[in-house]
Amino acid sequence: MRYSLLTLALSSAVAAPLWAADDTETIEVVGSRIALRTATDSVAPVDIITGEELAATGMTETARALQFAAPSYNFPFSSVTDGSDAVRPATLRGMSPDHTLVLVNGKRRHGSALVHLSGTVGKGSSNADLNAIPVTAIKRIEILRDGASAQYGSDAIAGVINIVLKDADEGGSLNAQGGQTYQGDGEQWRLGWNQGLTFLDDGFVNLSFEAHHKNKTNRAGADPRQQYPTLPDGSPDPREASFDRKSHHVGDAEYDNLGLFINAAKPLGEDGKLYAFGGISNRETESGAFYRRALDSRNLTEVYPDGYLPKIAPEIRDQSLYLGYEFSLGEWQFDSSVGYGKNRFKYKLKDSLNTSLGADSPTSFYAGALSTTETNLNLDGSRYLPFFNDSDLVLALGAAWRKNEYQVEAGEPDSYFGSGSQGFMGFTPESAIKEDRHNLGLYLELENQLTDDFYWAAALRHEDYSDFGTNNSWKLAARYELTDSLAVRATANTGFRAPSVQQLYFTNISTLFNPDPNTGDLVPTESGTFNNLAPLTQALGVGKLQAEESQSYSLGLVYTGDNGLSVTLDAYQIKVDDRIVLSSSLNSKDATLPQNVRDLIAATGAESARFFINAVDTKTRGIDLVVTQDWDLGHYGFLKGNMAWGYNKSDIEDVHLPSILGGLESRLFDDIERTRMTDANPRHTGSFGLTHKLGDFQTTARVNYFGTYSIGYSSGPVKYDHQWVADLAVKYFATDNLALTLGAQNLFDNYPEKRPEDNNFNGIFVYPLTNSPFGFNGGYYYLEAEYRY
């Protein structure tokens, strides 16, 4: 028998009645190639979140639903962060967003073209956009919380997220949800449709479509500043009294998303199978930049007499397709596949202006685009071999070839001429670039259930990259059953992350707002981000980017009782050498910097410059505890409980910066960046949930805990207190196929602590713009209907 490399489930694919208890046995193989194993039987910690569990969160975005279903995954809120308002970064186990590898149906998924630049967690990184995959299309998500570079290649330092698409060959579902915040904004609706079809007798085609619209939220404070020039007689302009001082937009972006996914397979002969999966999504968002007052030099009163709020309105197109063939050849089982993915991030500006063009300036601009494409070719083979003690040894080996391309497209000339389009200056022809790189990976894996009590696995991988050379990584894992109910498991592995093509080739000059050291006001600064190919970077001798390398260890206990109780406790340590960071900005007007450095920066047309550098060695330690328990309450129904708690702490062990500043190298990695790397994620996270089924009703209650975290400001780091956030949903099964849900997220309308007064931009930025784990929208209520057929 051949075992799939994907997760399998021993359950019927036909739509069951909505009220039916979940009695399926979930089987996982992510991170392992051996035969069917349950989640608690795994050699490394794995979370399995079903599509039903994702939907039960009531969240309309895949990444946000995952955050509330798996506490080890953090999807913090951000606002007024340019493109990161549209594609937010996410982290696993407190590591960088690009330390988590994302798979779909066990195959590598491409990343977003966007580089996070504006103060978010994982600044300088890029990540796969999970929100491009509709919740409607997801059968389940598996999270391997362990290093897996030796198994899957680059990026899997923190772990692996595998999204398994729905594969039913008949039946379907329709889903509709609508809701809004307690404050009456953020209205949104989502429509989802899934359909399973039989294809040529024994094959299947599963289609999923989703449409999602969300209005903006706004929690900006009133702008107390003078808005209009003083009149000739020295008196204030009378319009000051009537001006709407809630002029900024600080909150969720307006959002429209359409997604279509397909998953299909057709058996061929006795042992062959053709398969295909992929999808396309199109997203348009709109968020605010900084308001330009009527008296601002960046405004022309002939165009905007009362000032204006530039709106960043990107269009994001994401598409992917995998084709594969599984077949047998003698004792060997093979899986061959080819995959292609592309993400294009198109910058557009609305309600903007280019003051250099005068009163005839357009008010909307195309500012250029970022795009990344990825092509994957894979051939995997596996077989069983007789081994010691009459056991079978699983031998797996394979080859993977990958090509990554990255392109920066210049905007229209009006977007970068002179002062450029306000809100986001267009990419110039000098920033435009189109580059690629490729790599070949070879791997070998061994797995063996040596005795009924002892299981072990080993993996070795060699990677050869066209741009920075080779890398070898390995992994060892073992599990021993101490009793029928208690087992101990451990892993040790090395890993690596090649510098992404985004980090290698992204370059741009954009407007950032930095605090004035005297007044505290945020003032615009033309900041340049320069790649390793830029003349400035080469002149300064910053150095070529190298791969990050990691060493990881984990030790865990697993308990499974006869009474439905299961407990997993895992401790881990992840050390990463030569982590790539986006440096702090060097200002050409900083008199303490060497004159040659200041001159080189000024010659680029930017006032400040920053670079991607291998600058930091870190150590991350943590503990994950997961407890689940089911109760049959007889006449009182069924009760399912789950509790998860995680502790995570990152420390900087060493900083090694290029010697370009004559002894002031610490300027390249300042206290703000240190805080972002070590304390921006909550130290403790947790959740406790209960789901009760009785008759036609199902009630789900969940309490989420977010521990303290810190944000670095110019005046120093500020620690934000822990928060408890409760969610409640009641589902009524009107018929066997129709269910209605009334729910509330953030039931008690909690908000994070406010920003310090010396860093709140005159009271306009009330709450932290970045890194708040649950945002600052407050409570949200919704109504949902689902029909299965």
User: Which carries the bigger pLDDT value, residue 22 or residue 412?
Assistant: 412
Instruction: Give CA–CA dist 575/565, Å, rounded.
Output: 33
Instruction: Specify the pLDDT at position 681.
Output: 93
Instruction: Specify the pLDDT at position 520.
Output: 52
Query: Do strands 9-10 and 716-720 pair parallel, antiparallel, or not at all (unpaired)?
Result: unpaired
412-433 average pLDDT score: 93
Q: List pLDDT tens digits, range 489-510.
A: 999 999 999 999 999 999 988 7
- Within 8 A by CB and 6+ apart from 47, the residues are 39, 70, 72, 142, 143, 145, 626
- Within 8 A by CB and 6+ apart from 283, the residues are 86, 131, 132, 255, 256, 257, 258, 315, 316, 318
Instruction: Specify the pLDDT at position 29.
Output: 58
| pLDDT at position 2 over 50 | no
- On whether the CB atoms of residues 223 and 245 are closer than 8 A, the answer is yes
Instruction: Specify the pLDDT at position 9.
Output: 29
Instruction: Specify the pLDDT at position 714.
Output: 83
| pLDDT at position 486 over 80 | yes
CA 673 to chain centre: 20
| pLDDT at position 755 over 60 | yes
Of 581, 495, 132, 82, nearest to 290 by C-alpha is 82
Pick from 189-193, 290-294, 559-563: least confident: 559-563
| pLDDT at position 281 over 90 | yes
Bridge partners (DSSP) of residue 74 are 91
pLDDT-derived band at 775, boundaries 50, 70, 90? very high
- On whether the CB atoms of residues 271 and 191 are closer than 8 A, the answer is no
DSSP reduced 3-state for 395: strand
118-129 average pLDDT score: 92
| pLDDT at position 121 over 60 | yes
Instruction: Specify the pLDDT at position 715.
Output: 84
Pick from 95-109, 631-645, 658-672: least confident: 658-672
528-557 average pLDDT score: 92
pLDDT-derived band at 150, boundaries 50, 70, 90? very high
Most confident among 15-19, 519-523, 699-703 (mean pLDDT): 699-703
DSSP reduced 3-state for 288: strand
The strand order across the sheet containing 138-144 reads 46-50, 138-144, 159-165, 100-104, 107-108
| pLDDT at position 521 over 80 | no
Instruction: Specify the pLDDT at position 267.
Output: 96
657-686 average pLDDT score: 91
pLDDT-derived band at 14, boundaries 50, 70, 90? very low
| pLDDT at position 773 over 70 | yes
Instruction: Specify the pLDDT at position 13.
Output: 30
Mean pLDDT of the chain, nearest integer: 92
Instruction: Specify the pLDDT at position 517.
Output: 52
Instruction: Give CA–CA dist 764/769, Å, rounded.
Output: 11
Q: List pLDDT tens digits, range 188-233.
A: 999 999 999 999 999 999 999 999 999 999 999 999 999 999 999 9
Of 371, 317, 288, nearest to 114 by C-alpha is 371
Instruction: Give CA–CA dist 153/151, Å, rounded.
Output: 6
Instruction: Give CA–CA dist 489/453, Å, rounded.
Output: 11
Instruction: Give CA–CA dist 2/760, Å, rounded.
Output: 60
| pLDDT at position 33 over 80 | no
pLDDT-derived band at 563, boundaries 50, 70, 90? confident
Instruction: Specify the pLDDT at position 17.
Output: 37
73 class by beta-carbon count within 10 Å (0-12 exposed, 13-18 middle, 19+ buried): buried
pLDDT-derived band at 1, boundaries 50, 70, 90? very low
DSSP 292: B
Q: List pLDDT tens digits, range 720-740.
A: 999 999 999 999 999 999 999
| pLDDT at position 12 over 80 | no
Instruction: Specify the pLDDT at position 772.
Output: 93
Structural domains of the chain, with CATH: 9-788 (2.40.170.20)
pLDDT-derived band at 269, boundaries 50, 70, 90? confident
pLDDT-derived band at 519, boundaries 50, 70, 90? low
Bridge partners (DSSP) of residue 640 are 630, 691
pLDDT-derived band at 24, boundaries 50, 70, 90? very low
| pLDDT at position 28 over 80 | no
pLDDT-derived band at 3, boundaries 50, 70, 90? very low
Instruction: Give CA–CA dist 134/104, Å, rounded.
Output: 12
- On whether the CB atoms of residues 7 and 162 are closer than 8 A, the answer is yes
What's the token pair of residue 725? 């956030």
Q: List pLDDT tens digits, range 69-119.
A: 888 999 999 999 999 999 999 999 999 999 999 999 999 999 999 999 888
What's the token pair of residue 77? 């809120």
311-317 average pLDDT score: 97
Instruction: Give CA–CA dist 136/193, Å, rounded.
Output: 7
- The Cα-based distances of 608 to 242, 413, 527, 589 in angstroms read 38, 23, 5, 8
User: Which carries the bigger pLDDT value, residue 735 or residue 40?
Assistant: 735
- On whether the CB atoms of residues 534 and 544 are closer than 8 A, the answer is no
Q: What is the 3-state secondary structure (H, E, C) of 724-762?
A: EEEEEEEEEECCCCEEEEEEEECCCCCCCCCCCHHHCCC
Instruction: Specify the pLDDT at position 163.
Output: 97
266-272 average pLDDT score: 92
Instruction: Give CA–CA dist 480/359, Å, rounded.
Output: 75
Q: What is the DSSP string of 9-46?
A: EES--S---TTS----EEEE-TT--SS-EEGGG-SS-E
Instruction: Specify the pLDDT at position 30.
Output: 72
| pLDDT at position 18 over 70 | no
pTM greater than 0.75 (yes/no): yes
Instruction: Give CA–CA dist 51/21, Å, rounded.
Output: 15
